[in-house]
Amino acid sequence: MTTVATLSEETDSPYALSHLDALESEGVHIFREVAGEFERPVILFSGGKDSIVMLHLALKAFAPAAIPFSLLHVDTGHNFPEVIAYRDRVVAEHGLRLHVASVQEYIDAGKLRERPDGTRNPLQTVPLTEKIQSERFDAVFGGGRRDEEKARAKERVFSLRDEFSQWDPRRQRPELWNLYNGRHAPGEHVRVFPLSNWTELDVWQYIAREKIELPQIYFAHEREVFQRSGMWLTAGEWGGPKDDETVEKRLVRYRTVGDMSCTGAVDSDATTLDAVIAEIAASRLTERGATRADDKLSEAAMEDRKREGYF
C-alpha cells in the first residue's frame, strides 16, 4: 500500500498564535513600520468598522503613547448622522486631530458636478487626492481588505501612488517576507493597508473579542428605507425616494458603512455581535455584493477607481 506521512495528533505547537492574534500582530507591525519610516502619515477614518479596527490597532501599537498620526475623513455630505457623531466622539476621546475633505464643498464651489445617478462615492477621489497633496501626507492608511474584491486581492500592503495618486497594478513592487519598502519620491505617497489579510469575518470576530464600540447602524434596527436597484436605501435629503419609489419601515442593519446614496441595508434581526457574526458566517453574499452599488457599475469598477486614486 502507498501511504504518506501519518498525521500528527498535535496539529499546532503551544506557540502557534490564534488567527486573530497573528493578524493583530501583523497589523501592529505595519503601523510601526510606517511610524518609523514616514514623515506625515494619516489614517483614513470613515467611522466604518474597518477604519475603527485600524484605529484600535494603532492605539495598541503605540500605547501608552499617543498615536503619531492624524485622521482624515472624506465626507461625501451624504453620511449617516450616527456615523458622524461616532467619528467626532472617537476623535475627542483620544485627543486626535481630524482632517476633513468635503465633497459638498467641492460641489458648492463648482469643482465637482453631481452625477445623474446621485451616487457620490466616485466623487470622493478628487477631494481625497487633493487633500493628500495639500497636506503633504506621505503615507495614507486605508482599511481596504483583499477579500473585498478581486482587484483588491492584487493590492500590496504598501502600495506606491504617483504624484497624481494613481495606482498602476502592473508596476507594483513585489512584497517579500515582512520587508515592506516605503521608499517614495517627493509628491508620491504610499497607501498602506494594515487589514490586507483580514476577512469580513475576522474583522467582526476581532471587534467582538476586543469589545470595540461600533456605530449602532451595524446592528438591526427599524429604519425607513426604499428599494432601488435591488437595495434598501435610507430615505433622506440626499435624493431618495423618487416619485415611483415607496418608503417602508423594515428591520435592517448595515454590513458596510459608506455614502447613503450607494450603501444598502440588509434585512436582519441581529442585534448583538454574536448574532452578527453568525449571520455573516451563514451569508451567501459578500458584503459588497449585498450592499454596494458602486462596484456593480462595471467588471473593473474597483480597479478603475483605484487607478484614479480611490482608496
Partner 1 sequence: MTSTTDPTEPLSVEQLSATTLLRFATAGSVDDGKSTLVGRLLHDSKSVLTDQLEAVAHASRNRGQDAPDLALLTDGLRAEREQGITIDVAYRYFATARRRFILADTPGHVQYTRNMVTGASTAELTVILVDARNGVVEQTRRHAAIAALLRVPHVVLAVNKMDLVDYQETVFAAIAEEFTAYASELGVPEITAIPISALAGDNVVDPSANMDWYGGPTFLEHLETVPVTHDLATCHARLPVQYVIRPQTAEHPDYRGYAGQIAAGAFRVGEEVTVLPSGRTSKISAIDLLGRPVDVAWTTQSVTVLLEDDIDISRGDLIVPSKDAPATTQDIEATVCHVADAALTIGHRVLLKHGTRTVKAIVKDIPSRLTLDDLSLHPHPGHLVANDIGRVKIRTAEPLPVDAYADSRRTGSFILIDPADGTTLTAGMVGESFASPEPVKTAADDDGWDF
Q: Which of residues 192-211 bind partner 1 (CB under 8 A)?
A: 196-197, 199, 201-202, 205, 208-209
Cis peptide before 68 (omega within 30 of 0): no
Question: Which of the residues 152 through 171 are near partner 1 (CB under 8 A)?
Answer: 152-154, 160, 169-170
The residue (of 235 and 275) whose beta carbon lies closer to partner 1 is: 275
Is 282 one of the binding residues for partner 1 (CB under 8 A)?
yes
Specify the 3-state DSSP secondary structure of 134.
helix
Cα–Cα dist 194/97, whole Å: 20
Candidates 74-82, 128-136, 141-149, 243-251; binding stretch for partner 1 (CB under 8 A): 141-149
Q: Which residues contact 179 (CB under 8 A, 6 or more apart)?
A: none
Minimum distance from residue 258 beta carbon to partner 1 (Å): 17
Among 109, 110, 113, 176, binds partner 1 (CB under 8 A): 176
Q: Which residue from 305, 289, 302, 75 is spatially nearest to 200, judged by alpha carbons?
A: 289
Question: Which of the residues 24 through 63 are near partner 1 (CB under 8 A)?
Answer: 24-26, 28-29, 32-33, 35-36, 60-63
Minimum distance from residue 295 beta carbon to partner 1 (Å): 9
Minimum distance from residue 34 beta carbon to partner 1 (Å): 10
Minimum distance from residue 39 beta carbon to partner 1 (Å): 14
The DSSP 8-state label assigned to residue 66 in this structure reads: P
The residue (of 28 and 247) whose beta carbon lies closer to partner 1 is: 28
Is 179 one of the binding residues for partner 1 (CB under 8 A)?
yes
The dihedral region occupied by 158, where left means phi > 0, alpha psi between -120 and 50, and beta the remainder, is: beta
Phi, psi (deg, nearest 5) at residue 152: -70, -25
Question: Which of the residues 208 through 227 are near partner 1 (CB under 8 A)?
Answer: 208-209
Residue for grid cell 515592506: 180
Q: How many residues touch partner 1 (CB under 8 A)?
A: 83
Phi, psi (deg, nearest 5) at residue 153: -65, -20
The residue (of 131 and 146) whose beta carbon lies closer to partner 1 is: 146
Among 54, 128, 151, 265, binds partner 1 (CB under 8 A): 151
- Residue 166 C-alpha cell reads as 494613481
Is 294 one of the binding residues for partner 1 (CB under 8 A)?
no
Cα–Cα dist 311/308, whole Å: 9
CA dihedral 227, 228, 234, 236 (to 10 degrees): -120
Strands 41-44 and 139-141: parallel
Minimum distance from residue 233 beta carbon to partner 1 (Å): 18
